[in-house]
Structure 1
Amino acid sequence: MNHPSGETIWGNINTAVEIAMNIYLIAAKDENGFEREGIMVPKSKAKEVLSEKAISMAEQDGDWLCYGEDTKDIPMYEMLQRRVAACKRMETKAIEMMQEIRRDGSLRLTDYFGECAPPVPFEAEKSSPEQLNRVRNGIYFVHSEGEDYFAVYESVADNFMSDIAEGFGRKQGEYLFYDLTTAAVPLFELRQIYDEVEDLIVSEDSLLATLNENFGVYISYYNDLMQEEAKIPPVEAPICFFLQKQLDRAAQEPDHSADTEMQSNLIPLTFGEEAEDFGFEP
């Protein structure tokens, strides 16, 4: 619809300015030469920009709804309401984008954004030094609730780990937590990216044996994507002895290997539920 022009209920239009989509501020001169102001909205677009209550309070002039000196604040108010709502949506989106940039920047642009914040153990509001063992930026060992966990910052996981590997983690804050059995999956993938992670693995055979024994879905998923020479092979070795922490724990608890094997059967019910459904049929 064209801008309003010609005669209106207030006289002949001198100027018509679109102050918002389909909302026009009008300056008109009546037959006595007095200038009048009002707001006009096309009837065909009124429901898109005004509430039913606002529409009911307008004067009608052909194809237009008119708001004079006494009522023009009604469409102005609703126009500003819409702008505030739009600004809030834009602000929310901008904040999300800033958070995403800061999140990735903590990994890639540490000189500007600083390093990734350390993870928070499950039972504490604040991390204490004895609970955290930093492997590198965004990767930690965490001692919490009497257990040790391998913690991976979500940006590290998103950039360098597969979706199925992420699915075995327990999300808290900005980190994925893996117990020392499920840690086999992220360790296997991240060791190819970071030397510091590669250095954590004291037994490659035990790592591969643990994957074969406990993570058949992951083995099938990974091997289906890889060329023959890069596939994970079957390996005969003690399981869950690929980290020094596991060796230390076994040395302190001679019968722990049996407990570890029994507990590993429970992993899919706790940490691994999400990893069971990736649309892949081995």
Structure 2
Amino acid sequence: MSLRIVVCVKYVPDATGDRHFAEDLTTDRDAVDGLLSELDEYAVEQALQIAENADDAEVTVVTVGPEDATDALRKALSMGADKGVHVEDDDLHGTDVFGTSLVLAKAIEHVGYDVVVCGMASTDGTMGVLPAILAERLGVPQVTLLTEVSVGDGKVTGRREGDAASEQVEAALPAVVSVTDRSGEARYPSFKGIMAAKKKPVETLDLEDLELEAEQVGLEGAWTAVESATARPARTAGEIVTDEGEGAKQLAAFLAERKFI
């Protein structure tokens, strides 16, 4: 039987762009270009390596997001994944990590899985809790924050590097795994891979397909909310010291006044 590997990926605003909040205090995703979260590229890479070391395996990438989130799927498909699943619904706007984990769990159950691979966090929300919540919703064990991971003999094993120790962990399949940015550099899509990705299947689902109600997700169903946001003040010009023989003293006085020295 084929090993069913599912990778959760996220379409995030480009960190180099001018990001800000919309009027409803959600991220204004229309005002900045988006891309596949860099930390999720490590998850795709590890999923592909697991598949390459298996006798028979299929890698499915799943994302939840607006129409443009298909770009994140295509990037993962161009790296080598076999197919994609895109959950898109207008009622998902404003969904927090708890709602997202619910939608992902339903989508993953729809696809079927043996192991689910996630990145350690998203580069926009950076909460890092989704893999654990997802495992709870699926009712399976979790092995998270791994720098090494392998699958075989009905279990997943890996290494977790901590401040004081290196741990070897394992769990019986099915299971949820998350990998860190120290798990190995993600491969670059080849031209052949990019062209092949255009022909790979991407299934689109909505809330009705997953038997979910609008009230369970979106801003209405969110467990968390942004109450206020203040724009970062513009950078001001620094103080210029003209060195006429007293520059060092003026610099020392400046640093001492601000208790840097």
**Which TM-score tier does this pair reach, normalised by the shorter chain?**
under 0.3
TM-score by length of 1: 0.23
Structure with the higher helix share, 1 or 2: 1
Q: Which has the larger radius of gyration?
A: 1
| TM-score, length of structure 2 as denominator length | 0.25
Which structure ranks higher in relative contact order (CA pairs < 8 Å, sequence separation ≥ 6)? 2
